[in-house]
């Protein structure tokens, strides 16, 4: 039976039980786990030289013959092997020394032919390699090669020397894998080689074959042991395409399905919307108006709306969402806003409550701690759940059994914290409500396509005109004195200040402690001020009290953890001091900074950090000082951290991304997207034999084959 990728490692005779154990401990279970492991990097060891041509400092692969071997002792014991000499066509000699590698003594002996790879150094006039990589060659084969090199000049390529040549560790481009405890890198490399050798030539890839003209078996070989760097690139591209294709296929599937799904036609009279717009002290920006119109058109169409609303912090997404919700209520249904956290749900609720003051609409809050109804309340309590209303709540309280009846619009705030699967729960159940997804953070274009390719997109690409300028400055915490003087002057001018406590992940309690000690510090500096404290361990009521006091300008300074990151809106706050700024993520810093510059006053974001130029953490701070544009920052964040970290792959619907580097490649994503759409166009039921594996991809959400 030929080897397959799904074979378990247990069944393999080429592994000792100790090795099997080490591999299991490193989560390698199957042949595929090993062969689909991407080398961390490659070392080009192709440059092959005879000893006679080596010079001090050079790194090369060298075919040699051992004429003596034994232990030596200088300051420490080492194993020394002398090679070349009479067996070398030029009589040249080389010393090989291994320190702390006693097993080498068991492997090497006089008379052997080796290929060694390492850096040559001259000690006392003798050419030496310290701890070179090596492999033992079959005798005739090696002799053949040594001669050929001698005849062919200095650089005959070793790897083409003879038909029996098998060089794994030297004389070729060599893969370097991440370390596995209990198994040496050489042994792992050899294992990969041996497994590859046992694979059938006609091996098919798991799932759908995205590039049938480039045999999968060959691509695997090129991934691990490329003959040329170009082959490696080609292989990585093939695997990356397969990955992009998977995510794009899911997206295309969802898009196709949602396009076929009928929603309800919502005819609106615009009464509530007009009332709201007339009561606002400002006008919608033209970008906001355009987005509202796009949403209105979707809601009026018989197709279910699936739209993404993107916009920078402070661009007025929430207001657009409220407009959409009013349109929905006017058409006689319920509109729900689903927030990722309780604090945000409450904030939206309070916000809406203010904006809708005096209007005859029912507004309800549902979180695990609070249920509240304001506005119109029906006389007959039985009627309560059927009357049109605006509903704000957390996710857990608004789906499945709690799902509101007569839901015509679901607005999902901060989609990427939920992941695609949860969105589906709203999209595809019950009466097919229209769905509007709001992202709190702008995301890079390639990711928009990857994650939200199934959605129509509205972008608010303009900030309201009344916004004050924001100056961002990077300061060393040693210069606190001048910062304090500056803070005083802003406080005297009547402005308010946020102080963000250092970021402490994983522990709410320690984060609270950090915030409390930050509070103590500032109480010492500004004894005459009342200073508020906001952190994640406060109860909703306590948070409410703190926020109300700050909003009402009763407290002038607010010490806070990242809970102020989203949604908090106090236009009079003009200064934000961020401690240990380099420990925050770039997008997170941008979100934090979005809390200031919300009124007409000039604002200042001061990033405290002792990261020096060139140090990790410094670059993102420089990006932040350079630009206020959230989309630009998202691209930079993506470039600096990669997609997995930006979105958290587990939740993002990206699955296990191995070839993440390629997710930044627009062309690849477009190609995958086109391929996916073409397949679904030609074979919507996935009935062709080559398409059957694709059913797996969409299985969790699929109802293919049942009906159109």
- For position 341 contacting ligand ADP by CB under 6 A, the verdict is no
CB of 319 to ligand ADP, least distance (A): 4
Which of 81, 319, 390, 420 touches ligand ADP (CB under 6 A)? 319
Contact between 596 and 603 under an 8 Å Cβ cutoff? The reply is yes
Contact between 109 and 68 under an 8 Å Cβ cutoff? The reply is no
- For position 317 contacting ligand ADP by CB under 6 A, the verdict is yes
Burial of 530 (0-12, 13-18, 19+ CB in 10 A): exposed
Positive/negative CA dihedral, 261, 266, 272, 275: positive
CB of 416 to ligand ADP, least distance (A): 15
- For position 310 contacting Mg ion by CB under 5 A, the verdict is no
SS3 at position 632: helix
Q: At residue 706, what are phi and psi to the nearest 5 degrees? A: -75, -65
Residue 137 or 460 with smaller CB distance to Mg ion:
460
SS3 at position 32: helix
- For position 315 contacting ligand ADP by CB under 6 A, the verdict is yes
- For position 288 contacting ligand ADP by CB under 6 A, the verdict is yes
- For position 318 contacting ligand ADP by CB under 6 A, the verdict is yes
Separation between Cα atoms, residue 593 and residue 149, nearest integer Å: 65
Binding mask 549-568 for Mg ion (x = CB under 5 A): ------------------x-
Contact partner at residue 464 from Mg ion, ligand ADP, none, CB < 5 to 8 Å by partner kind: ligand ADP
- For position 279 contacting ligand ADP by CB under 6 A, the verdict is no
Which residue in 356, 319, 338, 343 sits closest to 392, CA to CA?
338
Residue 37 or 318 with smaller CB distance to Mg ion:
318
CB of 392 to ligand ADP, least distance (A): 14
Contact between 509 and 521 under an 8 Å Cβ cutoff? The reply is no
Separation between Cα atoms, residue 225 and residue 175, nearest integer Å: 7
User: 220 to each of 36, 261, 345, 375, 646, how far by Cα in Å?
Assistant: 8, 41, 49, 65, 29
Separation between Cα atoms, residue 428 and residue 282, nearest integer Å: 37
Q: What is the dihedral of CA 649, 664, 238, 683, to 10 degrees?
A: 80
Which of 171, 226, 314, 532 touches ligand ADP (CB under 6 A)? 314
Which residue in 311, 306, 304 sits closest to 285, CA to CA?
311
- For position 284 contacting ligand ADP by CB under 6 A, the verdict is yes
Residues in the interface with ligand ADP (CB under 6 A) total: 16
Separation between Cα atoms, residue 270 and residue 685, nearest integer Å: 41
Stretch that binds ligand ADP, among 113-121, 284-292, 416-424, 485-493 (CB under 6 A): 284-292
Q: At residue 58, what are phi and psi to the nearest 5 degrees? A: -80, 145
Binding mask 145-184 for Mg ion (x = CB under 5 A): ----------------------------------------
Contact partner at residue 653 from Mg ion, ligand ADP, none, CB < 5 to 8 Å by partner kind: none
Which of 43, 456, 544, 569 touches ligand ADP (CB under 6 A)? 569
Contact partner at residue 84 from Mg ion, ligand ADP, none, CB < 5 to 8 Å by partner kind: none
Which of 118, 171, 316, 444 touches ligand ADP (CB under 6 A)? 316
Token pair for 201: 């030539």
Binding mask 409-448 for ligand ADP (x = CB under 6 A): ----------------------------------------
Which residues in this chain contact ligand ADP in the complex, by CB under 6 A? 282, 284-285, 288, 311, 313-319, 464, 466, 569, 598
């Amino acid at each position: 039976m030929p080897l397959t990728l799904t074979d378990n490692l247990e069944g393999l005779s080429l592994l000792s039980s100790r090795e099997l154990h080490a591999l299991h401990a490193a989560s390698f279970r199957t042949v595929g786990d090993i062969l689909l492991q991407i080398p961390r990097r490659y070392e080009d060891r192709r440059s092959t030289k005879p000893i006679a041509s080596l010079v001090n400092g050079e790194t090369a692969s060298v075919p040699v013959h051992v004429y003596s071997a034994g232990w030596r002792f200088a300051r420490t014991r080492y194993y020394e092997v002398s090679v070349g000499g009479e067996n070398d066509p030029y009589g040249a000699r080389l010393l090989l020394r291994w320190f702390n590698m006693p097993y080498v003594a068991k492997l090497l002996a006089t008379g052997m032919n080796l290929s060694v790879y390492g850096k040559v150094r001259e000690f006392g006039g003798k050419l030496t390699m310290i701890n070179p990589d090596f492999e033992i060659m079959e005798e005739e084969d090696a002799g053949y090669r040594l001669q050929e090199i001698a005849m062919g000049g200095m650089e005959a390529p070793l790897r083409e020397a003879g038909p029996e040549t098998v060089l794994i560790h030297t004389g070729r481009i060599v893969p370097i894998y991440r370390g596995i405890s209990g198994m040496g890198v050489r042994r792992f490399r050899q294992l990969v080689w041996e497994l590859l050798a046992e694979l059938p030539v006609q091996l098919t890839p798991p799932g759908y074959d995205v590039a049938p003209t480039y045999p999968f078996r060959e691509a695997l070989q090129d991934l691990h042991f490329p003959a040329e760097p170009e082959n490696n690139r080609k292989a990585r591209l093939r695997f990356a395409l397969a990955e992009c294709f998977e995510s794009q296929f899911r997206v295309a599937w969802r898009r196709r399905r949602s396009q076929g799904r009928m929603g309800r036609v919502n005819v609106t009279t615009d009464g509530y919307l007009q009332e709201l717009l007339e009561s606002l002290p400002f006008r919608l920006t033209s970008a906001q108006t355009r987005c509202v119109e796009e949403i209105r058109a979707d809601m009026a169409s018989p197709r279910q709306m699936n739209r993404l609303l993107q916009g920078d912090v402070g661009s007025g997404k929430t207001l657009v969402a409220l407009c959409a919700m009013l349109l929905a209520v006017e058409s006689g249904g319920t509109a729900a806003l689903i927030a990722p956290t309780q604090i945000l749900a409450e904030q939206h609720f309070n916000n809406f409550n203010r904006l809708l003051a005096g209007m005859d609409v029912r507004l309800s809050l549902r979180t695990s701690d609070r249920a509240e109804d304001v506005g119109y309340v029906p006389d007959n309590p039985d009627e309560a759940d059927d009357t049109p209303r605006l509903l704000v709540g957390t996710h857990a309280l608004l789906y499945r059994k709690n799902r509101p009846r007569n839901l015509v619009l679901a607005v999902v705030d901060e989609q990427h914290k939920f992941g695609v699967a949860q969105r589906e729960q709203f999209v595809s159940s019950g009466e097919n409500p229209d769905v509007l997804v709001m992202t709190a953070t702008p995301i890079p274009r390639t990711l928009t396509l990857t994650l939200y390719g199934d959605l129509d997109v509205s972008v608010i690409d303009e900030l309201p005109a009344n916004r004050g300028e924001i100056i961002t400055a990077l300061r060393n915490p040693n210069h606190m004195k001048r910062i304090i003087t500056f803070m005083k002057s802003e406080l005297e001018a009547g402005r308010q200040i946020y102080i963000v406590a250092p970021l402490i992940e994983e522990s709410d309690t320690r984060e609270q402690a950090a915030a409390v000690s930050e509070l103590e510090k500032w109480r010492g500096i500004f004894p005459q001020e009342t200073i508020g404290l906001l952190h994640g361990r406060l109860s909703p009521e306590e948070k409410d009290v703190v926020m109300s006091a700050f909003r009402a300008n009763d407290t002038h300074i607010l010490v806070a953890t990242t809970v102020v990151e989203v949604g908090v809106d106090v236009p009079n706050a003009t200064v934000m001091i961020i401690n240990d700024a380099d420990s925050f993520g770039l997008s997170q810093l941008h979100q934090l900074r979005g809390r200031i510059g919300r009124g007409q006053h000039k604002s200042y974001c001061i990033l405290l950090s002792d990261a020096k130029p060139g140090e990790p953490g410094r670059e993102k701070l420089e990006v932040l000082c350079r630009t206020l544009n959230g989309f630009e920052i998202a691209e930079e964040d993506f470039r600096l951290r990669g997609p997995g970290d930006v979105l958290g792959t587990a939740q993002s619907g990206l699955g296990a991304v191995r070839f993440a580097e390629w997710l930044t490649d627009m062309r690849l994503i477009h190609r995958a997207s086109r391929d996916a759409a073409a397949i679904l166009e030609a074979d919507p039921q996935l009935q062709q034999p080559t398409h059957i594996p694709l059913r797996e991809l969409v299985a969790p959400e699929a109802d293919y084959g049942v009906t159109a």
